[in-house]
């Protein structure tokens, strides 16, 4: 490989010299971009109980005769998704646009010889410095000859190249754009149908509907149906229909059939029209202070993935019922100027209140679950009318980006929060608006970016960051945010500790070091302060968060990671029921050890051990532990594949909970919250009936020890088991 790389690089350098009629010393420097190794020692500590448990799991799977495979993301992506679920208060996102994009790039890989910065951003994995270096490298040396050349691009390490390799290609000929009629006829149609059900009946289905006031009138199945047509990344349209478990279907409150319908048409690159959206779409501007509706990562082991970078308009065809716009959007681009405008109108779920004393109606809160099962949930469906409009004006030239953003919401009914102290600065009224300026600039090995925003009440918010390539084997990242307690916005997702950007000041720094081709060290430190009260935190507080992870990967078959994280975040602690709840710092520590081993071309083994300690020196300490073993099986040129997992977990309570990403059927994933004591296992099966039709089956079960019931409220199940079954069929034509 090294010989091939050296020959192709010399050929590119020679071609450049002929084209420019002069030598370039910078080209010679690219040939010397090799990382020389310096070793570090990783020390891991075990415990007999955990080692024996892990050994038992390994033995069980080793002799278990049936192991199978489904879609498998990278270890880093798994940890990012786990961090999102934890940050969103244990709520999993239903936006699968990210997974759809990866599948599309598998079918139509990005041509590095012609891809612009916008297209490279869609890969999500690449940092702004890496994107800029790819474009600069291509401008300097001409088109890539082979993918091996990526090793010579500054700031691109082997791990990153391996992540993007399935989604990229190198071709001399540009991608065929085609006329509009060719786009309409030359693409791919696909239909995805999915059925999910918890096999045990919960209390909500067993109550007598003639006497109970609160119960689930619908069936326990969840139905998902999606039709989509796509021509490369240039044209797509489709519809989505979804019914949640417990919701009625073609009867009662849902006589129209499915509870949720979505439709979209999205076109790219027609003359000066860069994007055109009709129907449902998402809007992403700046660094998430004004508007960001697509999936975005926050703090995770990928310490360099701190910048928001996606096109302003993106098509939406997922099952989530809240975080999108419905209307019209368009992006026009000419030369270095890009302009986007959009308008949207839709009904949103809200808690509607009638004040008979003052003879007025208002909204106490906006609902985001998307569930319409019980009478109260059905009454909240579409209770608020939301009209939204906004736009973006951007200037892009070489390594400079400047943007101006505006977002405005108008509601039919005013929003009035409960009169609690932490709600003093909460979103209220019949209108919400935000304006901002965002920027980014790359100077050599530095990339600056940020956004300064203001709402209609003149409250301000700032996010500023820096990506720095210190050396060929070391990169650093910095983020400073200063967001006023009064700053309010809707459908935003900035790089913050909180779920939404408000009431927070903080400084984050991360570093990624590759001292040897086999070793990698990623670490971050985050210091944050909440200047005003928060829910269940009755005082301004300060918190800290540290993470460090060592990865050892001597070859393509073996990867070992060891991670330590500690976070101290104050919250109310009032076991004696005092009138004033004192705020006490609560520390959570976490240790994780994981091994990925590719036994051969068809079989992969994974094992994770994880321990957590909550408030070890406080008044309510808790400990937690989990261990799981995965087997992934994907034979070459076979119609079947799949994977399976067996997990044992044991925690003292919810505060010592853990998270574990689970592989699922295509376009789906699961990140259950793990607590209490018990076992969890799942099996995924994938079978290709033909090139056009593919089938997936998944069964997952949690078995709790020493519990008579599982869940609470209407979701309470008699017994100690919870079993979920899922079927999915995809037909492509």
Q: Has residue 145 got a pLDDT over 50?
A: yes
Q: Has residue 312 got a pLDDT over 60?
A: yes
Nearest to 427 by CA among 402, 396, 459, 467: 459
Q: What is the pLDDT of residue 427?
A: 92
Q: What is the pLDDT of residue 3?
A: 40
Q: What is the pLDDT of residue 54?
A: 40
498-504-505 Cα angle (round to 5):
125
Quote the crossing angle between the two packed helices 2-20 and 128-141, to the nearest 10°: 60
Eight-class DSSP state of 720: S
Look at 41 and 73; give whichever has higher pLDDT. Answer: 73
Residue 622 near residue 653 (C-beta atoms within 8 A): yes
Q: What is the pLDDT of residue 365?
A: 93
Residue 692 near residue 639 (C-beta atoms within 8 A): no
Q: What is the pLDDT of residue 580?
A: 79
> pLDDT tens for residues 404-439?
999 999 999 999 998 888 899 999 999 999 999 999
Dihedral sign computed on CA atoms, order 81, 84, 85, 86: positive
Rounded mean pLDDT of the chain? 88
Query: 38 pLDDT band (50/70/90 cuts)?
Result: very low
Stretch among 75-84, 98-107, 234-243, 594-603 having the lowest mean pLDDT: 75-84
Eight-class DSSP state of 17: H
Other CB atoms within a 10 A radius of the CB of residue 424 amount to 13
**Residue with structure tokens 């199978």?**
68
As given in the structure block, the two tokens for residue 376 are: 């109260």
Q: Region 520-549: what's the mean pLDDT?
A: 96
Nearest to 299 by CA among 122, 482, 497: 497
> pLDDT tens for residues 624-680?
999 999 999 999 889 999 999 999 999 999 999 999 999 999 998 889 999 999 999
Residues 6+ apart with CB under 8 A from 3: none
Q: What is the pLDDT of residue 29?
A: 32
> pLDDT tens for residues 169-216?
998 877 777 777 889 889 999 999 999 999 999 999 999 888 888 999
Question: 3-class SS at 137?
Answer: helix
Percent of the chain past pLDDT 90, that is, above it, reads 70
Residue 329 near residue 340 (C-beta atoms within 8 A): yes
Residue 392 near residue 371 (C-beta atoms within 8 A): no
Nearest to 593 by CA among 75, 80, 67, 86: 75
As given in the structure block, the two tokens for residue 126 are: 């690449």
Q: Has residue 17 got a pLDDT over 60?
A: no
Q: Region 257-280: what's the mean pLDDT?
A: 96
Eight-class DSSP state of 317: -
Strand 658-659, strand 429-443: pairing: unpaired
Nearest to 732 by CA among 98, 187, 108: 187
Q: What is the pLDDT of residue 356?
A: 67
Q: What is the pLDDT of residue 568?
A: 96
Q: What is the pLDDT of residue 516?
A: 84
Residues 6+ apart with CB under 8 A from 313: 266, 275, 277, 281, 282, 283, 329, 330, 331, 340, 342
Task: Give the containing element (helix H, strand E) for 121.
Answer: helix 117-121
Q: Has residue 609 got a pLDDT over 70?
A: yes
Query: 247 pLDDT band (50/70/90 cuts)?
Result: very high
Integer Cα distance of 340 and 393 in angstroms: 6
Nearest to 388 by CA among 322, 307, 295: 322
Q: What is the pLDDT of residue 542?
A: 97
Specify burial of residue 186 (Cβ count, 10 A radius: 0-12, 13-18, 19+).
Answer: middle
Residue 338 near residue 525 (C-beta atoms within 8 A): no
> pLDDT tens for residues 462-500?
999 999 999 989 999 999 999 999 999 999 999 999 999
Residues 6+ apart with CB under 8 A from 404: 392, 393, 394, 435, 436, 437
Q: What is the pLDDT of residue 89?
A: 67
Integer Cα distance of 517 and 514 in angstroms: 7
> What domains can be seen in the chain, in order of their start residue?
2-32+109-169 (1.10.150), 260-353+380-505 (no CATH)
Q: What is the pLDDT of residue 24?
A: 33
**Residue with structure tokens 């050892």?**
552
Integer Cα distance of 402 and 439 in angstroms: 5
Q: Has residue 31 got a pLDDT over 50?
A: no
Integer Cα distance of 503 and 483 in angstroms: 6
Eight-class DSSP state of 215: -
Integer Cα distance of 554 and 556 in angstroms: 7
Residue 421 near residue 538 (C-beta atoms within 8 A): yes
Look at 332 and 146; give whichever has higher pLDDT. Answer: 332
Q: What is the pTM of this model?
A: 0.87
Question: 3-class SS at 286?
Answer: coil
Radius of gyration of the chain (CA): 26
Residues 6+ apart with CB under 8 A from 203: 713, 714, 715, 716, 717
420-423-424 Cα angle (round to 5):
100
Q: Where are the alpha helices (DSSP H) in 335-463?
A: 375-380
Q: Has residue 383 got a pLDDT over 50?
A: yes
Integer Cα distance of 46 and 431 in angstroms: 56
Query: 558 pLDDT band (50/70/90 cuts)?
Result: very high
Q: What is the pLDDT of residue 73?
A: 64
Q: Has residue 37 got a pLDDT over 80?
A: no
Integer Cα distance of 250 and 258 in angstroms: 7
Nearest to 61 by CA among 599, 545, 469: 599
Eight-class DSSP state of 134: H
Stretch among 135-149, 369-383, 455-469, 702-716 having the lowest mean pLDDT: 135-149
Residue 399 near residue 441 (C-beta atoms within 8 A): yes
Nearest to 266 by CA among 93, 97, 113, 491: 97
Percent of the chain past pLDDT 70, that is, above it, reads 89
SS3 of 51-82: HHHHHHHHHHHHHCCCCCCCCCCCHHHHHHHH
Distance set, CA 556 to CA 231, 293, 518, 553 (Å):
34, 36, 10, 7
Integer Cα distance of 410 and 69 in angstroms: 48
Q: What is the pLDDT of residue 75?
A: 74
């Amino acid at each position: 490989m090294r010989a091939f790389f050296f020959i192709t690089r010399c050929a590119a350098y020679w071609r450049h010299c002929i084209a420019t009629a002069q030598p370039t010393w910078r080209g010679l420097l690219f040939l010397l971009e090799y990382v020389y190794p310096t070793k570090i020692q990783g020390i891991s500590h075990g415990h007999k109980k955990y080692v024996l448990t892990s050994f038992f799991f390994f033995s069980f799977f080793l002799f278990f005769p049936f192991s199978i495979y489904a879609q498998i993301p990278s270890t880093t992506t798994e940890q990012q998704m786990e961090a999102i679920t934890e940050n969103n208060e244990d709520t999993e996102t239903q936006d699968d646009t990210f997974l759809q994009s990866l599948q599309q790039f598998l079918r139509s890989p990005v041509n590095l010889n012609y891809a612009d910065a916008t297209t490279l951003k869609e890969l999500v994995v690449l940092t702004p410095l890496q994107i800029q270096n790819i474009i600069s490298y291509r401008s300097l040396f001409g088109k890539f000859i082979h993918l091996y050349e990526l090793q010579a691009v500054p700031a691109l390490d082997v791990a990153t190249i391996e992540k993007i390799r399935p989604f990229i290609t190198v071709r001399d000929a540009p991608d065929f754009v085609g006329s509009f009629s060719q786009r309409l006829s030359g693409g791919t149609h696909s239909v995805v149908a999915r059925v999910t059900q918890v096999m045990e009946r919960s209390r909500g289905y067993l109550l007598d509907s003639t006497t109970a006031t609160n119960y689930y009138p619908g069936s326990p199945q969840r139905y998902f149906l999606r039709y989509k047509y796509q021509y490369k990344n240039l044209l797509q349209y489709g519809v989505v229909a979804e019914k949640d478990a417990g919701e009625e279907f073609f009867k009662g409150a849902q006589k129209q059939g499915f509870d949720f319908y979505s439709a979209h048409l999205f076109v790219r690159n027609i003359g000066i029209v860069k994007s055109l959206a009709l129907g449902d779409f998402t809007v992403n501007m700046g660094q998430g202070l004004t508007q960001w509706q697509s999936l975005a990562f926050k703090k995770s082991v990928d310490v360099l993935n701190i910048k928001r970078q996606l096109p302003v308009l993106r098509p939406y065809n997922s099952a989530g019922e809240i975080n999108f716009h419905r209307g019209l959007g368009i992006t026009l681009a000419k030369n270095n100027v890009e302009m986007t405008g959009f308008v949207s109108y839709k009904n949103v779920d809200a808690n509607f209140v009638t004040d008979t004393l003052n003879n007025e109606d208002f909204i106490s809160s906006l609902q985001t679950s998307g569930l319409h099962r019980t009478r109260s949930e059905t009454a909240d469906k579409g209770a608020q009318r939301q009209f939204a409009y906004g736009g973006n004006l951007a200037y892009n030239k070489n390594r400079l980006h400047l943007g101006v953003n505006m977002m405005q919401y108008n509601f039919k009914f005013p929003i009035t929060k409960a009169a609690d102290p932490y709600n003093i600065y909460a979103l209220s009224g019949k209108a919400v608006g935000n304006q901002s300026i965002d920027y980014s600039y790359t100077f050599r090995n530095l990339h600056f970016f940020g956004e300064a925003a203001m709402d209609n009440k003149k409250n301000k918010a700032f996010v500023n960051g820096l990506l720095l390539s210190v050396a060929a084997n070391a990169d650093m990242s910095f983020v400073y945010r200063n967001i006023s307690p009064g700053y309010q916005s809707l459908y935003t997702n900035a790089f913050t500790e909180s779920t939404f950007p408000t009431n927070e000041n903080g400084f984050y720094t991360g570093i990624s070091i590759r001292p040897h081709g086999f070793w990698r060290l990623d670490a971050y430190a985050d210091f944050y302060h909440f200047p005003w009260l928060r829910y269940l935190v009755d005082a301004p507080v300060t918190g800290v968060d540290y993470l460090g992870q060592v990865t050892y990967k001597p070859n393509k078959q073996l990867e070992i990671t060891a991670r330590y994280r500690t976070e101290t975040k104050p919250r109310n602690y009032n076991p004696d029921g005092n009138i004033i709840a004192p705020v006490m710092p609560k520390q959570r520590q976490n240790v994780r050890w994981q091994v990925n081993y590719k036994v051969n071309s068809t079989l992969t083994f994974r094992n994770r051990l994880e321990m957590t300690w909550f408030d070890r020196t406080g008044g309510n300490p808790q400990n937690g532990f989990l261990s799981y073993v995965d087997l992934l099986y994907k034979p070459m040129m076979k119609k079947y594949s799949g994977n399976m997992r067996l997990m044992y977990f044991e925690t003292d309570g919810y505060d010592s909970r853990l998270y574990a990403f689970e592989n699922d059927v295509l376009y789906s994933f699961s990140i259950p919250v793990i607590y209490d004591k018990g076992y969890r296992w799942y099996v995924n099966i994938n079978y290709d009936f033909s090139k056009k039709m593919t089938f997936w089956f998944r069964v997952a079960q949690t078995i709790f020890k020493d519990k008579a019931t599982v869940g609470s409220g209407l979701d309470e199940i008699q017994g100690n088991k919870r079993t979920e079954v899922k079927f999915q069929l995809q037909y492509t034509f």
